[in-house]
Structure 1
């Protein structure tokens, strides 16, 4: 007998704490029946599922936390796929598979013939781009920039040059406690006319999104919170 075909559900979480209204109703619909998950953080995943399903027995669900250094347990994924169970993949916030390790699991799922279903939810990257006023026809997400000098300044200069050459918006993120140093490095390195957007706490009650030139930011430089932020640059 042929084993049943697994379905991989890419389960988005709210970008802001408690903002379940930003999710498609399909998220609640499909997570009712999923009992196997790969997650970035088990505590976050359990709390999120409880917020969707008050009567769900969390102890009946199998969670595999994706190790930050060694990646996901791919052997366990293959075992679950061979069993034909449906599997959910969750990031810490936003859409799994984008700027997190979920893509490695999905790549394996495709090779094993599983069906992959992305559920609709918020992406801080796209929401920031939408609200930035920068070029949404051509853009690139660059993840984290180098932390140390001179690599960081070189990376910023390279992104600015690419943006100017290709008229392309460059997106990147930073660990929240480094938001202010990154902004200072951008203002120190980039040309006065380069536009920079800061999108912080996207979808939260205290959401902050502002686009200005480097020269304008220098005249009124904010002290950024230690909060999730997306930085966008267009030269």
Structure 2
């Protein structure tokens, strides 16, 4: 997940509280011995941990999971890889430098982000073909999951270069298991489209899918996304929003889509959202693809119709779409559509 926040204050306090002998020592537990620079042949706790060895690293591209907030979630194996490769390819060198400084990793860094990945792929693949090990990381979580790295991995696979995944923290899975929803069947949709029309069309495709759905939501798009979900999926669909996960102020907000939308309504005194969110949608209730007519007011239906018409639907197609998604009679949906003003094509289709 992008946008990892600054380190919690307690992390800095933990480091400064330890005696310094050359370099700071780690807090406790598995971190013992992990922040001082080690050779492959050392007998530290890190080198004795599963996955670490005293041998040179396998040649290839090591795709490494990094913490999504709490630095103690970096695995001993990931730390061993970051220290042992020739170079670390990272989304933001400043961010990764902070992580490396904390763990005393001295491996050179090279930027690889969405704006230069395509241009750098060929050069990096040529280097990998010479037999050197490189690491690929994102700012938080696993590379290529709504983050840069996918093009390089695909190019390396095409060239026959070994891909060595080093599993680690994941905002997607962290939120899914915390939601309490059925995770036996899940769909991850990443960041929904910024344009309302495209976003609503994508929501229409998943409205009846019998699976838990996970999405990443940027703070500036949160209210628009919740509003469109209420309209397309039904306001009573259960959902959960996760923010600041694994951090000091970790928060999980649970309720219906309508309740979560109201919780972030500035008209009701809500503050502007901050930081990225991971949104988890429960599967549709048995017997309904989206909402249910029970409990839906005329205002709920009119709101859904307005969203559909702003997204480019004609009055009749909006009525049909809302009738299906909210499980209301077609006659009621069309009657209420007559109370919604005409929308010009493209209205409401700007960025959320």
| TM-score range for the pair, normalised by the shorter chain length | 0.7 to 0.9
Q: CA deviation at 1:72?
A: 5.5
Q: CA deviation at 1:117?
A: 1.9
Give the strand-richer structure, 1 or 2. Answer: 1
- 2:179: which partner in 1? 132
In the alignment of these two chains, the number of paired residues is: 222
Partner-residue secondary structure (3-state), 2:196: coil
Q: CA deviation at 1:216?
A: 4.0
State the Cα deviation string for residues 148-192 of structure 1 (Å, max 9, x = none). Answer: 23332332233222x3xxx11111112232223322332344313
Query: What is the alpha-carbon distance in structure 1 between the residues aligned to residue 156 and residue 85 of structure 2?
Result: 16
Structure 1 unmatched ranges of 5 or more: none
Kept in 2, the 8 Å contact 1:5–1:114? The answer is no
| Residues 1:134 and 1:13: Cα distance change in structure 2 (over 3 Å) | same
Query: What is the alpha-carbon distance in structure 2 between the residues aligned to residue 45 and residue 131 of structure 1?
Result: 27
| Aligned-residue CA RMSD (Å) | 2.4
State the Cα deviation string for residues 29-79 of structure 1 (Å, max 9, x = none). Answer: 12112222322112112222112116x2x5xx1514234376361111122
Structure 2 unmatched ranges of 5 or more: 1-56, 285-352
| Residues 1:38 and 1:195: Cα distance change in structure 2 (over 3 Å) | same
- 2:112: which partner in 1? 65
Kept in 2, the 8 Å contact 1:8–1:87? The answer is yes
- 2:142: which partner in 1? 95
Whether 2:76 is the aligned partner of 1:29: answer no
Query: What is the alpha-carbon distance in structure 2 between the residues aligned to residue 22 and residue 207 of structure 1?
Result: 15
| Residues 1:71 and 1:229: Cα distance change in structure 2 (over 3 Å) | farther
Partner-residue secondary structure (3-state), 2:273: coil
- 1:48: which partner in 2? 99
Query: What is the alpha-carbon distance in structure 1 between the residues aligned to residue 89 and residue 167 of structure 2?
Result: 18
1:186-225 to structure 2, matched below 5 A, reads: 186-217=229-260, 220-221=263-264, 223=270, 225=273
TM-score, normalised relative to structure 1: 0.83
Query: What is the alpha-carbon distance in structure 2 between the residues aligned to residue 150 and residue 200 of structure 1?
Result: 26
Partner-residue secondary structure (3-state), 1:93: coil
Q: CA deviation at 1:123?
A: 0.2
- 1:175: which partner in 2? 218
Of 219, 226, 229 in structure 1, the residue corresponding to residue 274 of structure 2 is 226
